[in-house]
Amino acid sequence: MAEQIYLTTGRNNCGGCCRLRVHVEDGRVTRLSADPDDPEPGRKPCARGYQYANTFLNKDRLLTPLKRTGPRGSGQFAPIGWGQALDELAAQWVRIRDAYGPASRYVNYAWGENGVLNGTQLAKRLLRLDGGHLDYYNSYSTACGAYATPYVYGTAQSGSNFCTLTDSRLILLWAHNPAETVFDDLMYWLRKAKKAGARIVVIDPRRNATCRALDAQWVPIRPASDGAVLDAMAYVIFQKGLHDRAFLDKFCLGWREWARFLHDEGRTPAWAEDISGVPAAVIEELAVAYATVKPAALLPGYGGQRHENGEQFTRATCALACLTGNVGVSGGWAGGIGWCETHPLPHMPAVPNPVKAEIPSFLWADAISRGPELTAADGLTGADRLESGVKLLLNLAGNQLMNQHGDLNRTAAILRDERLCEYIVCSDLFMTPSAKYADLVLPGVSMFEQDNITKPWVQGDMVGFSQKVMEPLGQCRFEYDWLADLAGRLGLGEAFTQGRTADGWLRAIYADLQQKEPELPPFDQFRTMGTYRYKNPIVRVAFREQVELGVPFPTPSGKIELFSPALGARNDPRIPALPVYVPAKEGRGGSETYPLQLVGWHTLARTHSVHYSNAAFRAEHPQRLWMHPADAAARGIADGDMALVYNGRGALRVPVLVTEEVAPGVTALAQGAWYDPDEQGVDNGANINALTGHEPTALAHGNPQHTILVQVKKE
Ligand SMILES: Nc1nc2c(c(=O)[nH]1)N[C@H]1C(S)=C(S)[C@@H](COP(=O)(O)OP(=O)(O)OC[C@H]3O[C@@H](n4cnc5c(=O)[nH]c(N)nc54)[C@H](O)[C@@H]3O)O[C@H]1N2
Ligand SMILES: Nc1nc2c(c(=O)[nH]1)N[C@H]1C(S)=C(S)[C@@H](COP(=O)(O)OP(=O)(O)OC[C@H]3O[C@@H](n4cnc5c(=O)[nH]c(N)nc54)[C@H](O)[C@@H]3O)O[C@H]1N2
Ligand SMILES: [Mo]
């Protein structure tokens, strides 16, 4: 049979949504290629994109439902049919609902399927039709940033479109690495900005791939110490009278208190050098440049806020932008989390949840182990107490259970206790470390076996489609289809499906989007286009209306709250009223036993844990611990040596890359490798979450998974 070529987009959670051509012969995918007529120059597939077929259609795919036969976590399973699987799931679902109440049921944060139809949202829909479920707020991505930004601006929509960066003359990429993490088409615009003459500086503990790709200046910094450098930059700017006095007077609450604090506390470059390792002269030069080269964008990634003091980092990035009058200006950047809504995004209509209780997404394991003890102090909202811990846990297209969550050894102990969570269901393509902890494993379908509507990650003038090009492998099923069967067993079939198949829902969701965006082509045409780019791009500059037209900021005071009365009233030294540096407990110097900082990052080689199962690709991008030559020499470690990395929570084994591209005293390890502990509990997979903690941050109750201390020794 002749080759057929389909256009499609990826639908993992990498921020790419890349446009790919799928070559199919005899119903089999033979290869993937880039589209020569790509209307999305900023969304070309990266190395991961080209691996989708090798990864998702490989021999390790789960092909039948599996039922646990050994102790939980043992990895012992037996295949069962779908009928039996769904009968058992329905029986557990009803039993747990009736014994412990609807709020004992939880669907975990999981983003393996970043399309409008995904197991997580669909399972919540069914639970809500059946009395509800405990829900979560916040994310593992942006917990501190998204929670703290509104304390400053009244909204998390503090981002401008990336195309505005071509107006910038100076760009400080702060804990940002889009050459690996994508962030829609950000690299495309950074390259243009560079060409247009912008100076680009990368502030990161590692000389990251973006720094290399843009041939930018690297400022090595110790993890979780950014606030100190930002304080000192503000100190210098005030000291030299370079602050935008008119902007501060007109728009900002509490700037004088901030200036006074920095002065009285002596937050000088020398003080910050001691904490961060960034030389005072470098801080001073950066401060002067940022205050005088206009417009300038201090662009934070999410890496700086996935820390114990991530809320303060977030607030400081906003404060510096205000100090220099870079807010509301094209080519400036307001800081904070930087969300930027333009075109409406397609979505499945939501069903209200009869259960009002919500936990921070990072606290699901605690909701299992000590649910009824959780209070508002833990971030529980919508209820004073939970009547029960989580007893039914659904983890669909995610690897959160035993790979992406903090402190995996503790998490394993919680999950192994079958009296705590009584029934765990995973749907995945592979027997992941998480699936091993399920009672029922259901085989899902990949992006090649199911249609879905996809969308930009943070921003974009496009909507995409992930096209079915082949029949599902084995007995694999899309979550919608088995949830519809389950709904039938619960007497909720009609309510759940409203008479629609998955295809019917895609058409309905698209029709709804067409109401808002009449230029969209008919569905059947759109389905084959891979991506549709809107004809008239919307260019948004955050807070332009506030700055140019005097529209009040959506804060309690109507001003930008550099000083936050609401935070002041909490009286918590970890999250004071001013946006200033607060040391992390597990920051540098926090322990004599574990003197090295360890920072994670999101590697080009994976989307979280996705692609780890692709052995050939993994061999091209081996997992390595980055270590500075001075730290390696002090431990007798040479490049390529196997090392044991450990702290009080766990240990892992990984070869060392000795490199000057990481700050002294800091080690770095890409997150997302598959957890693979040996008999002694030492992780041979080198998953950083064998070492991370489970204690949430002060305000957002978020995941501080980049703040870790360790010791390293040669194996
Ligand atoms: N230490 C540390 N931990 C972290 C982070 C960190 O920076 N450091 N980052 C955090 C962040 S930002 C996030 S968003 C989370 C991510 O947490 P998750 O979303 O749980 O992580 P993924 O590895 O993307 O999990 C996706 C899973 O879905 C499966 N999958 C892929 N496609 C399909 C499909 O089509 N159908 C089905 N059924 N399954 C599919 C994959 O095999 C994989 O197991 O991790 C967090 N964890
Ligand atoms: N290839 C790939 N791309 C992805 C993902 C993926 O798994 N793989 N995941 C996607 C998802 S869900 C998310 S949420 C985003 C995550 O996006 P980010 O959170 O921005 O990504 P990270 O790699 O965690 O951090 C970005 C950079 O910050 C640095 N960094 C870490 N701590 C500090 C610090 O204390 N100070 C400073 N100055 N720098 C620091 C890291 O070394 C890294 O180079 O990426 C998305 N894109
Ligand atoms: Mo994320």
Can you say whether residue 608 is alpha, beta or left, with left for phi > 0 and alpha for psi between -120 and 50 degrees? Answer: left
Instruction: Look at residues 20, 14, 48, 57 and name the one whose alpha carbon lies nearest to residue 617.
Output: 48
- Directed axis angle between helix 82-100 and helix 479-489, to 10°? 60
Cβ of 226 less than 6 Å from ligand 2:
yes
What's the CA-to-centroid distance between 610 and ligand 3, angstroms?
A: 13
Taking only the tens place, the pLDDT of each residue in 602-631 is 999 999 999 999 999 999 999 999 999 999
Q: What is the atom index within ligand 2 of the atom nearest the CA of 672? A: 7
Report whether 302 contacts 317 (CB < 8 A): no
What's the CA-to-centroid distance between 672 and ligand 1, angstroms?
A: 8
- Please report which helix (H) or strand (E) contains residue 323, including its range: helix 310-323
> Span 568-581, mean pLDDT?
97
Which ligand is the nearest neighbour of the Cα of 227?
Answer: 2
How far apart CA 466 and CA 552 sit, in angstroms, is 41
Ligand 2, pocket-test mutation among 14, 139, 181, most atoms within 8 A of CB = 181
- Please report which helix (H) or strand (E) contains residue 235, including its range: helix 226-239
- Please name the residue that has the structure tokens 């760009």: 171
Taking only the tens place, the pLDDT of each residue in 286-330 is 999 999 999 999 999 999 999 999 999 999 999 999 999 999 999
> Span 423-445, mean pLDDT?
98
Range 434-439, long-range pairs (CB < 8 A, 24+ positions): 434/395, 434/398, 434/399, 434/400, 434/401, 434/402, 434/403, 435/62, 436/73, 436/74, 436/75, 436/402, 437/72, 437/73, 437/401, 437/402, 437/412, 438/68, 438/395, 438/401, 439/67, 439/68, 439/72
Ligand 1: lining residues by beta carbon, under 6 Å? 13, 110-113, 140-141, 306, 397-400, 404, 427-430, 432, 444, 446-447, 600, 602, 607-610, 671, 688-689, 692, 705
What's the CA-to-centroid distance between 141 and ligand 3, angstroms?
A: 3
Q: What is the atom index within ligand 2 of the atom nearest the CA of 307? A: 35
- Please name the residue that has the structure tokens 């005899």: 26
Q: Which residue type sits at 441?
A: V
Structure confidence at residue 339 as a pLDDT band (50, 70, 90)? very high
Cβ of 599 less than 6 Å from ligand 2:
yes
User: What is the predicted pLDDT for the residue at 457?
Assistant: 87
472 upstream amide cis, omega within 30 of 0: no
- Residue ID of nearest Cα to ligand 2 atom 15: 181
Can you say whether residue 309 is alpha, beta or left, with left for phi > 0 and alpha for psi between -120 and 50 degrees? Answer: alpha
SS3 288: helix
User: What is the predicted pLDDT for the residue at 358?
Assistant: 98
Residues 6+ apart with CB under 8 A from 283: 229, 232, 233, 236, 269, 272, 273
Taking only the tens place, the pLDDT of each residue in 182-223 is 999 999 999 999 999 999 999 999 999 999 999 999 999 999
- pLDDT of 506 > 80? The answer is yes
- Please name the residue that has the structure tokens 């921003």: 459
Cβ of 161 less than 6 Å from ligand 2:
no
Q: Which residues of the chain are in CATH 3.40.228.10 domains?
A: 145-341+541-570
- Residue ID of nearest Cα to ligand 2 atom 41: 601
User: What is the predicted pLDDT for the residue at 459?
Assistant: 82
What's the CA-to-centroid distance between 645 and ligand 2, angstroms?
A: 21
Ligand 2, pocket-test mutation among 597, 601, 674, most atoms within 8 A of CB = 601
Question: In percent, how much of the chain has pLDDT > 90?
Answer: 96
User: What is the predicted pLDDT for the residue at 455?
Assistant: 92
What is the end-to-end Cα distance of the chain in Å, rounded?
Answer: 55
Bridging pattern class, strands 423-428 and 392-396: parallel
Residues 6+ apart with CB under 8 A from 620: 605
Instruction: Look at residues 617, 466, 460 and name the one whose alpha carbon lies nearest to residue 46.
Output: 617
User: What is the predicted pLDDT for the residue at 17?
Assistant: 86
What's the CA-to-centroid distance between 140 and ligand 3, angstroms?
A: 6
Give the torsion sign (CA, 587, 589, 595, 596).
Answer: positive
Residues in the chain: 715
Instruction: Look at residues 274, 405, 258 and name the one whose alpha carbon lies nearest to residue 318.
Output: 258
Neighbours of 377 (CB within 10 A): 7
Which ligand is the nearest neighbour of the Cα of 400?
Answer: 1
What's the CA-to-centroid distance between 403 and ligand 1, angstroms?
A: 8
Cβ of 673 less than 6 Å from ligand 2:
no
Which pair of structure tokens corresponds to residue 641? 């040596």
Q: What is the atom index within ligand 2 of the atom nearest the CA of 605? A: 1
Structure confidence at residue 458 as a pLDDT band (50, 70, 90)? confident
Q: Which residues of the chain are in CATH 2.40.40.20 domains?
A: 596-714
- pLDDT of 1 > 80? The answer is no
SS3 534: coil
Give the torsion sign (CA, 226, 231, 236, 237).
Answer: positive
What's the CA-to-centroid distance between 608 and ligand 2, angstroms?
A: 11
Taking only the tens place, the pLDDT of each residue in 361-390 is 999 999 999 999 999 999 999 999 999 999
Sheet bearing 217-219, strands edge to edge: 217-219, 199-203, 170-174, 296-300
What's the CA-to-centroid distance between 351 and ligand 2, angstroms?
A: 33
Q: Which residues of the chain are in CATH 3.40.50.740 domains?
A: 66-140+349-445+474-503
Report whether 448 contacts 22 (CB < 8 A): yes
- pLDDT of 460 > 80? The answer is no
3-state SS track over 343-370: CCCCCCCCCCCCCCCEEEHHHHHHHHHC
**CA 342 distance to own-chain centroid:** 20
Cβ of 597 less than 6 Å from ligand 2:
no
What's the CA-to-centroid distance between 180 and ligand 2, angstroms?
A: 8
User: What is the predicted pLDDT for the residue at 555?
Assistant: 98
- pLDDT of 128 > 80? The answer is yes
How far apart CA 382 and CA 380 sit, in angstroms, is 7
Report whether 486 contacts 126 (CB < 8 A): yes
Which pair of structure tokens corresponds to residue 145? 């940033």
How far apart CA 615 and CA 661 sit, in angstroms, is 27
- Residue ID of nearest Cα to ligand 2 atom 2: 181
Structure confidence at residue 645 as a pLDDT band (50, 70, 90)? very high
- Please report which helix (H) or strand (E) contains residue 29, including its range: strand 28-33
If one looks up domain 145-341+541-570 in CATH, what number appears?
A: 3.40.228.10
Query: What average pLDDT does the structure give for the chain?
Result: 97
Structure confidence at residue 545 as a pLDDT band (50, 70, 90)? very high
**CA 538 distance to own-chain centroid:** 25
What's the CA-to-centroid distance between 181 and ligand 1, angstroms?
A: 14
Cβ of 14 less than 6 Å from ligand 2:
yes
Which ligand is the nearest neighbour of the Cα of 601?
Answer: 2
For 572-688, strand residue ranges (E) read: 596-601, 625-627, 642-647, 650-658, 666-670, 682-683
Out of 6-20, 466-480, 494-508, 638-652, least confident range: 6-20
What's the CA-to-centroid distance between 519 and ligand 3, angstroms?
A: 31
User: What is the predicted pLDDT for the residue at 16?
Assistant: 82
CA dihedral 611, 412, 441, 495 (to 10 degrees): -100
What's the CA-to-centroid distance between 53 and ligand 3, angstroms?
A: 23
- Residue ID of nearest Cα to ligand 1 atom 46: 404
Instruction: Look at residues 693, 687, 27 and name the one whose alpha carbon lies nearest to residue 366.
Output: 693
Residues 6+ apart with CB under 8 A from 541: 160, 161, 164, 328, 329, 330
If one looks up domain 596-714 in CATH, what number appears?
A: 2.40.40.20
Q: Is 574 exposed, middle or buried (0-12, 13-18, 19+ CB in 10 A)?
A: middle
Cβ of 203 less than 6 Å from ligand 2:
yes
If one looks up domain 66-140+349-445+474-503 in CATH, what number appears?
A: 3.40.50.740
Helices (H) and strands (E) in the chain, counts: 24, 27
Instruction: Look at residues 59, 112, 180 and name the one whose alpha carbon lies nearest to residue 614.
Output: 59
User: What is the predicted pLDDT for the residue at 394?
Assistant: 98
User: What is the predicted pLDDT for the residue at 185?
Assistant: 92
Q: What is the atom index within ligand 2 of the atom nearest the CA of 671? A: 7
User: What is the predicted pLDDT for the residue at 697?
Assistant: 98
**CA 155 distance to own-chain centroid:** 19
- pLDDT of 42 > 90? The answer is no
- Residue ID of nearest Cα to ligand 1 atom 45: 404
Structure confidence at residue 515 as a pLDDT band (50, 70, 90)? very high
User: What is the predicted pLDDT for the residue at 39?
Assistant: 81
Structure confidence at residue 345 as a pLDDT band (50, 70, 90)? very high
* C-alpha distances out from residue 309 to 224, 352, 705, Å: 7, 34, 11
How far apart CA 118 and CA 11 sit, in angstroms, is 10
Cβ of 16 less than 6 Å from ligand 2:
no
